[in-house]
């Protein structure tokens, strides 16, 4: 009987500790994030009125490499929009399987492409591509939920393709990216157009220009231009304020 009571007391104490811990975490982020139920495709965490979407896991890698992607997204035009030059240092954040990374690497010649991702499986896939193509100017970087883990003042261009809306900590991530950007660096934010109902993508995986501008401004970036020349996506260029 006494053993049962002690066991029950331990469980109650552990429960209280967990409740206190969770309350502390919510209060810590309450100024930037809200937590409430929403879309089944979301994580129940909101930023600036937008629910954050679930991350697409490495299981969706084949979709990133689909043969229709060039036609659907005009990725060649996207790279033209970036005005990539020899010697550029580019960071592809949420690089996935490296679809854009290994197209940009030959374009920068003696420059560098940082391929940043949080999923080890994605990094492993890119490592295999790097070895196969002897892409010596591609450097793989393990990111985290709050940091891209790049050196300060180290990149000329930043590319985020259909990934920003999945960041669990968008404010912290953009602040981390800003630190890595050189004074005249540009951030290319590519997101499916939330204003266009005909774009065949789930709503939480789209963004409007207005929402993007609001969120980037909160982190310290302003919109330089939105190149409206991609079939389904915004090509928004942000620079430091």
Q: Kindly report the average pLDDT of the chain as a whole number.
A: 90
Rounded Cα distance, 159 and 137, in Å: 16
| DSSP codes of every residue in 92-146 | EET-TTTTTHHHHHHHHTTSEEEEEES-HHHHHHHHHHHHHHT-TTEEEEE--SS
What was the pLDDT predicted at 19? 34
Lowest mean pLDDT among 5-14, 63-72, 132-141: 5-14
Average pLDDT over residues 102-130: 98
pLDDT digits (tens, 9 = 90+) for 142-176: 999 999 999 999 999 999 999 999 999 999 999 99
Confidence of residue 21 (pLDDT cuts 50, 70, 90): very low
Domain 55-240 has CATH 3.40.50.150: yes
> 228 Cβ partners below 8 Å, 6+ apart?
234, 235
Rounded Cα distance, 186 and 178, in Å: 10
What was the pLDDT predicted at 60? 86
Please determine, for residue 28, whether its predicted confidence score (pLDDT) is greater than 60. no
What was the pLDDT predicted at 49? 97
Q: Does this model's pTM top 0.75?
A: yes
Confidence of residue 30 (pLDDT cuts 50, 70, 90): low
Partnered with residue 46 across adjacent β-strands are: 34, 51
pLDDT digits (tens, 9 = 90+) for 197-218: 999 999 999 999 999 999 999 9
pLDDT digits (tens, 9 = 90+) for 60-81: 899 999 999 999 999 999 999 9
């Amino acid at each position: 009987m006494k053993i049962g009571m002690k066991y029950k007391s331990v469980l109650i104490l552990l429960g209280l500790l967990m409740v206190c811990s969770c309350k502390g975490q919510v209060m810590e982020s309450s100024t930037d994030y809200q937590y409430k139920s929403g879309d089944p495709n979301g994580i129940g965490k909101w930023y600036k009125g937008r629910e954050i979407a679930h991350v697409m896991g490495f299981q969706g890698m084949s979709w990133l490499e689909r043969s229709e992607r060039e036609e659907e997204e005009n990725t060649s035009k996207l790279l033209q929009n970036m005005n990539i030059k020899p010697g550029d240092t580019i960071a592809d954040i949420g690089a996935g399987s490296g679809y854009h990374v290994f197209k940009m690497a030959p374009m920068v010649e003696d420059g560098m492409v940082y391929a940043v991702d949080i999923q080890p499986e994605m990094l492993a896939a890119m490592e295999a591509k790097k070895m196969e193509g002897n892409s010596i100017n591609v450097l793989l970087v393990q990111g985290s939920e709050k940091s891209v883990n790049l050196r300060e003042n180290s990149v000329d261009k930043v590319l985020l393709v259909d990934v920003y809306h999945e960041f669990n900590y968008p404010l912290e991530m953009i602040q981390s990216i800003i630190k890595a950007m050189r004074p005249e660096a540009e951030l290319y934010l590519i997101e499916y157009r939330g204003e266009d109902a005909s774009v065949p993508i789930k709503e939480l995986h789209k963004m409007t220009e207005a929402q993007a501008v609001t969120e980037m401004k909160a982190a310290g970036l302003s919109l330089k231009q939105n190149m409206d020349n991609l079939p389904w996506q915004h090509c928004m260029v942000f620079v430091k304020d």
